Amino acid sequence: MEFQRIDLDNWSRRSYFEHYLNRVNCTFSMTANIDITELLPALRQKGMKLYPAFLYMVTNVVNAHREFRTSFHADGELGYWESMIPSYTFFHQDDQTFSTMWTEFDDEFPVFYQNYVADMKQYGDNKGLVAKELEPPYTFPVSCIPWVSFSGFNLNITGDGRYLLPIITSGKYFEQEGKTLLPVSLQVHHAVCDGYHASLFINDLQKWATNYKEWLGVE
C-alpha cells in the first residue's frame, strides 16, 4: 500500500497541525447513536453478524477521507495511506481476555465478510494480545464493547502524543422509541481532524447503515 508524503510547506493545514501537535497536544472524541433498525434484521436474515458489517462500514468511511488516513510513517515522515484496513479486537469467552486481528479489505461486502470468517476460523482461538501476526502498517484500530450501551467513551493515550489515526469503538445496541441504535465513539487527533471531520465520519457511517441494500445485496 502506497504512503503519500505531505509537503508541509504547501499544506493548508500546517498551522493547525503544528499547533495541536506541538503547542496544545490534543485529541478529542465524539459519540453518537447510529440507527441500524433496518440493517440488523437484514443481516440476521442472511445469517450474518453485525460486527464484520460494522468493520466494513467504518473502513469505507475511513478510506473516503484522507484526514482519517493521515499518520507518521515508520521513518518519521508525515503523510497518508492511499487506503487502510481494520485491525480489530475480539473477545475470548473462556478466560475473558481479548486479542487483535487484522483482515484484508475488499470493496465487495460478501468478499470482506468471507475474509473475516476465514481469519476468525484460523486465528480466533489464538490467545494473547495479537492473534494474527505480521500486521501491515496501514491498519487503523476498531474495538467493540458489546456489554454496555454507553453515551460517551474516551481513551487516554499517553506517550509522545504523535498517534494520529482514528480509534473507533462500538457499544451494545439498544431499543429506543421503536428504533435500534448502536452507540459509536470516534477518537481523533486534533492535529489532523476537526469537529467537521468527526461529523463527516458519523454522518457517513449513518449513510452506510441506511443504504445497506446497496452493499448487502438484499431487495
Q: 83, 138 in Cβ contact below 8 A?
A: yes
**Residue 115: strand, helix, or coil:** helix
Q: What is the DSSP string of 47-73?
A: T--HHHHHHHHHHHHHHH-GGGGEEE-
Out of 19, 65, 92, 190, which one is annotated catalytic? 190
Q: 45, 218 in Cβ contact below 8 A?
A: yes
d(CA 143, CA 170): 7
Write out the three cell numbers for 116. Answer: 473475516
92 belongs to the catalytic site:
no
Percent of the chain as helix, strand, coil, to the nearest 5: 35, 25, 40
d(CA 42, CA 44): 5
Residue with cell 447510529: 34
Phi and psi torsions of 47, nearest 5°: 70, 30
| Active-site residue set | 190
